[in-house]
Amino acid sequence: LFACAWTFSRGSPDLDHLPPDDRPEIAFAGRSNVGKSSLINTLVGQRALARASNTPGRTQELNFFTDPAADLYLVDMPGYGFAEAPKDKVAAWNRTLRGYLSGRRTLLRVFVLVDARHGLKPVDDEIMGLLDSAAVSYQVILTKADKISRTDLDRVMAHTIQSLSKHPAAYPHVIATSAETAMGFEDLRAVVAKLLDA
């Protein structure tokens, strides 16, 4: 599935520029700098697919990646959590995001990326609330797991799973990953393959 030549398909700043919903898609969300580009690149085995260092506050777009052979869109959602963005822009973007999440019938799952060192932050809870209200299936992925000890990882994992119980649309299986060591990617690929099978 992931041994393809993935390419950038299009960036969509609003709901009028989404590609046709003609194939399943999975999306990746998370705070800026959480390791989203690294995770997408590692998932597909291409070092430079998603931009690995995004300029904070750059144009907010949903970036669609695809490969004809994979028959799937990977959607890179802009990193959230930058307070310095102008309020009207944030409000407009939230409307777009809400519209996308609640109206996209081909969206199979949103992976919410959380830095394993920090665990869930209030902004993560906010986005998960949005996903709950849109009734979109989502799943938490812990990133940069290589940066903490096994004991700390277990503790963050247990705490995260516990927090998810108050989120009705959250899938209870949390995946710990590292783009450095490739930890967790077999698990993640299996989850995606299963989603496409269902």
- Contact footprint for ligand GDP (CB under 6 A): 30, 32-38, 52-54, 79, 143-144, 146-147, 178-180
CB of 147 to ligand GDP, least distance (A): 5
Residue 174 is given by DSSP the state E
- Specify the residue, 126 or 180, whose C-beta has the smaller distance to ligand GDP: 180
**Smallest separation (angstroms) from ligand GDP to the CB of 197:** 27
Q: How far is the CB of 105 from ligand GDP (least distance, A)?
A: 27
114 close to 30: Cβ distance less than 8 angstroms: yes
In 75-121, alpha helices (H): 87-103
- Shortest distance, position 7 Cβ to ligand GDP, whole Å: 18
Q: Locate the DSSP E strands across the chain.
A: 7-12, 25-30, 62-67, 72-76, 107-115, 138-143, 170-176
Alpha carbons 40 and 50: distance in angstroms, whole number: 7
